[in-house]
Amino acid sequence: MHPLFEELAYCPTPIGPVSLRHRMELTLKREVYEIKLGDEYLMSSLFTASEEALARLGLAARDGDALDVVVGGLGLGYTARTVLEDARVASMAVVEYLDPVIAWHRSGLLPLGPGLTGDPRCSFVQDDFFALAASAEGFDTRRPGRLFDAILLDIDHSPEALLDARSTSFYRPEGLHALSRHLKPGGIFGLWSNDRPDPAFTERLAGVFAEAWAESVTFDNPLLGRPFTQSVYLARA
């Protein structure tokens, strides 16, 4: 029998303590894994539809084979796992700022960890996604200036609801311009948001990229007993 609640790990980080929790959701009779940063919920295994949609929609928008992909934010691993389900993906670099989160996957403490670490296409990069996006060298320190077919980001709650002030400049036109330099021609930038699509942010993306649009992702929230809508922004270089 599983315990009703347990804190599997807790670790201080430069932006606050991060914890991994496992509990039983009695109303649904389901196991739930959660990652929290201080009092903020980073991710829950109870709601993964939009994280998975980020990968599916982003890759569906990109033609070709042997795709090189960057995923910003590891979390519980649902976006990364969905990327690897696409047989066209040749490589995936997952950039995660919080070293304990990577360690939880590598140790098998998280259910999706073995599948990610056991796939030779997957590599973990412990670094600041936003700093790498702003740099000229980009996301591969072994191959500075390397370009990618898709860059999929799920770190902040939305472009207006940030986990840490260090990402503020990323969502401005200059930050998005810097990110676009790491995409191949026709490459896709995908961004997860906890909110409904914001036309103002889609317009901001369209001012930087050749094409931009937003997709609503609606799923049943069993705790609220009603549908809930999040969004995925997509932009083509």
Q: Could you tell me the two tokens for 166?
A: 């260090």
Number of Cα atoms under 13 Å in the Cβ half of residue 75: 27
Q: Helix 173-180 crosses helix 199-206 at what angle (to 10 degrees)? A: 50
3-state secondary structure of 47: coil
- In angstroms, rounded to a whole number, what is the distance separating the alpha carbons of residues 159 and 192? 9
Contact yes or no for 79/154 (Cβ under 8 A): yes
pTM attached to this predicted model: 0.94
Tokens representing residue 65 in the block: 């084979």
Q: Who's near 15: CB < 8 A, 6+ residues apart?
A: 37, 97, 98, 163, 164, 166
Q: Would you place residue 2 in the very low, low, confident or very high pLDDT band (cuts 50, 70, 90)?
A: low
pLDDT digits (tens, 9 = 90+) for 201-218: 999 999 999 999 999 999
> CA 183, CA 220: separation in Å to the nearest integer?
34
Condensed to tens digits (0 to 9), the pLDDT of residues 93-121 reads: 999 999 999 999 999 999 999 999 999 99
Pairing of strands 18-25, 30-37: antiparallel
Distance (Å, rounded) from C-alpha 57 to C-alpha 50?
10
DSSP label at residue 161: B
